[in-house]
Amino acid sequence: MHRVSTIHPVLTDTLITVPLGGNAWRVDKDTTGGAISDDGIADWSNQFATYTAYFRLGHTGKFKLYLDAVVPQGKSKIAVTALGVTKELALSVRNFTDTYVGEWTVTDTGYIAIRIKGSSKTNDLIANIRSIKLEGTAINSRTTYVKNNDGHFFYWGRRGPSVHLGYTVPDAVNAEWFYNEVTVPKGNDVLGSYFMACGFGEGYFGMQVNAPDERHILFSVWSPFNTDDPNAIPADQKINMLKKGDRVHNGEFGNEGSGGQSFMNYLWKAGVSYKFLVHAKPDGKGRTEYTAYFFAPELNKWQLIASFSRPKTDTYLKHLHSFLENFEPLEGTKTREVHFNNQWICDSKGNWTELTKARFTGDNTAVKGYRMDYAGGLSGAAFYLKNCGFFNQYTPRNTYFDRPATGKKPDVDLSKLP
């Protein structure tokens, strides 16, 4: 372990601030005596608590690191580890102060993990730490991190980037059915994951990991009324449920738009391929009916999830896509991957067309460059999406990918669906 000098170098104009509120996680299993808040590491009294912060470097060289920290009473020692080198810092500052920790040499670009752990304390509280500050030849405009909490981005940044595949559909085709096959590789069924198979302009359908012993097959349709509060939707713009399958729960959702929601608790398994099918048809009276079906090989049958009627809508399926997201901020340090294969649409006349081309995109966390742990493309004959966990090899957004055609039309009798 290296001990650093108590002499603090003069901070330069090239200094950047990495706020811990959007870039750090507590990583030990205990949850007492300290947590990450929007203000950083707060109320840190548990000497065994460990925190890890991340930033991505786009340039090699050296960086100096400072902790913007305070110790309200007594003295504390904190161990800071990066790139396999640990440096110990003695702290007794009574106001938030940028305290120098040390300098590290970087020989490759990519994500840097900074581990912060208490070594000793003479009073109750070890420290409160607002941010990490960095300067040096490795630090420049290509250094990636969540810069601030504008737009509640500490929350979104800790969730990590969502990634999408937008499928290319032939022009002038009324897509009445959309079929997709989904496989989550073993070990990638991470808590908080939504593996969305069949997305369209007005809704989405896929499978989630909600708890260690709870998984959902989720189908939702947005109301045409733009609000995050489902209670604010006027009666004539609410999503109406027409029917639902056995063991399916229905209700409303909010916070990311609002509308009708349905889900079935089903303990789907990683490593197994599942089939998803969505149907949309205008009723000729200003509404469109959307219906979702799910096929689990363990059950060997198609199951109805739900059918919704959407007002002020007259359309077939458009803007077909799949996505991968993490909806649990505490799980933003874990990588998850999903494979999508054998996409097909069926038009209003019963003609099937295979979809083999997709465009890879990301959400605003990716667009802003706050996090770059995202990827997508081809894995064998399937499209894949991957996000979170601070891996280094990312896929440029807006890249198009073509998978090999299978020629294998969906094995489903549409006339016999429940």
Query: pLDDT grade, residue 7 (50/70/90)?
Result: very low
Query: pLDDT grade, residue 256 (50/70/90)?
Result: confident
More confident residue, 336 or 172: 336
Residue 1, pLDDT > 80, answer: no
pLDDT of residue 3: 38
Residue 6, pLDDT > 50, answer: no
131 in Cβ contact with 342 (< 8 Å): no
Q: Model confidence over 216-253: pLDDT tens digits?
A: 999 999 999 999 899 999 999 999 999 999 999 998 88
The count of domains in the chain is: 2
Q: Is residue 149, in this structure, part of any structural domain at all?
A: no
Same domain, 167 and 140: no
Last residue of a domain, one of 90, 120, 144: 144
Share of the chain above pLDDT 70, in %: 97
First to last CA, the chain: 66
Contacts of 238 (CB under 8 A, 6+ apart): 223, 260, 311
Nearest to 165 by CA among 18, 363, 383, 325: 383
Query: pLDDT grade, residue 2 (50/70/90)?
Result: very low
Whole-prediction pTM: 0.94
pLDDT of residue 11: 53
Same domain, 135 and 166: no
Q: What CATH number is attached to the domain comprising 36?
A: 2.60.120.260
Query: pLDDT grade, residue 4 (50/70/90)?
Result: very low
- Write down the mean pLDDT value for the chain: 95
pLDDT of residue 323: 98
Same domain, 131 and 207: no
More confident residue, 246 or 256: 246
Q: Is residue 44, in this structure, part of any structural domain at all?
A: yes
Residue 8, pLDDT > 70, answer: no
Residue 13, pLDDT > 70, answer: no
What mean pLDDT comes out for the span 265-281? Answer: 98
Same domain, 131 and 204: no
The range of the structural domain enclosing residue 19 comes to 2-144
Same domain, 49 and 82: yes
Share of the chain above pLDDT 90, in %: 92
Q: What CATH number is attached to the domain comprising 246?
A: 2.60.120
